[in-house]
Amino acid sequence: MQIASQRVASFHYTLTDGEGAVIDSSQGREPLAYIHGSGQIVPGLEKAMEGKTVGDKFKVEVPAAEGYGEHHEELIQSVPREAFQGVDKIEPGMQFQGSGPQGPISVTVTKVDDSTVTVDGNHPLAGKPLNFDIEVTEVRDASQEELQHGHVHGAGGHQH
């Protein structure tokens, strides 16, 4: 069975950056399961998965535009330290949920001084190519319930 729209695909992956450093991997964990065609994985990887079958092993380089998007300078801003009420110690690398014009946004602290905190609303991997090493472990039709809920149920899926 080939990976196609409305089918569940499970795969093991290792994601590396341009220098070959491992960013994320499913090694030692369950394979990642998703419903093909539903936008649950980055677009460039979803395109590369189309038509693959169980046992296929391949590498794919996903350009930033088809991964986590380009890096946008306007998503970097300085906010008054008072905006972080109740947080005693703020350090670069910390992540916070905020609200942006399109809804919730996750920001990473990049710089802290006495009165301001600089936050970056870009995804940490924005603007970077993503190198995936993939092994397809399962392909099956999605159940009606999975299609209605928009996510995989059972092993390898996310529970509510």
Give the pLDDT confidence of 116-160 residue by residue, as tens digits. Answer: 999 999 998 999 999 999 999 999 999 999 999 988 987 544 433
Location of structure tokens 């009165």: 115
Give residues with Cβ within 8 angstroms of 91, minimum separation 6: 109, 112
Report whether 97 contacts 147 (CB < 8 A).
Answer: no
Predicted confidence at residue 152, as pLDDT, reads 93
Indicate whether 39 pLDDT > 60: yes
CATH number assigned to the domain covering 7-68+126-149 = 3.10.50.40
Q: Minimal CA–CA distance to 158: which of 35, 67, 1?
A: 35
Residue 48 has pLDDT above 50, yes or no: yes
Nearest Cα residue to 126 out of 149, 111, 110: 110
Identify the pLDDT of residue 157.
45
* 50-94 pLDDT tens trace: 999 999 999 999 999 999 999 999 999 999 998 888 888 999 999
Between the ranges 31-40, 94-103, 145-154, where is the mean pLDDT highest? 31-40
Nearest to 146 by CA among 46, 41, 9: 9
As a whole-number percent, the residues of the chain with pLDDT over 90 amount to 77
Structural domain 73-120, CATH architecture? Beta Barrel (2.40)
Average pLDDT for 97-107? 77
Instruction: State residue 5's pLDDT score.
Output: 96
Task: Tell me how far apart the alpha carbons of residues 83 and 139 are, in angstroms, rounded to a whole number.
Answer: 47
Domain boundaries defined on the chain:
7-68+126-149, 73-120
Alpha-carbon gap, residue 157 to 34, rounded angstroms: 7
